[in-house]
């Protein structure tokens, strides 16, 4: 996905998108393909999202019980 596509999809300014994408790239959660000028999620990023979603489900279940 290109930077403008990301900006439009998640309602970020150019500066915000640049900052977030730099951070995600540094953490190796996404990678930039200079040839296609797109960002792609890495395997590490996919693992992070799976864990993040699992944690969210656990927290959601805990809140229902309270």
36: number of Cβ within 10 Å: 9
Asked if residues 51 and 62 have their Cβ atoms less than 8 Å apart, the reply is: no
Sign of CA dihedral 41, 47, 51, 57: positive
Residues 6+ apart with CB under 8 A from 58: none
Spatial separation of the C-alpha atoms in residues 5 and 23, rounded to whole Å: 18
* Residue 66 binned pLDDT confidence (cut-offs 50, 70, 90): low
Task: Give the tens place of pLDDT for each residue, 2-58.
Answer: 999 999 999 999 999 999 999 999 999 999 999 999 999 999 999 999 999 999 999
pTM of the model: 0.83
Residue ranges covered by each domain of the chain = 3-65
């Amino acid at each position: 996905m290109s930077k403008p596509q990301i900006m439009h999809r998640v309602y970020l300014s150019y500066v915000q998108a640049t900052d977030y994408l730099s951070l995600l790239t540094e953490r190796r959660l996404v990678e930039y393909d200079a040839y296609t000028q797109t960002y792609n999620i890495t395997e590490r990023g996919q693992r992070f999202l799976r864990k993040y979603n699992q944690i969210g489900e656990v927290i959601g279940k805990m809140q229902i019980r309270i």
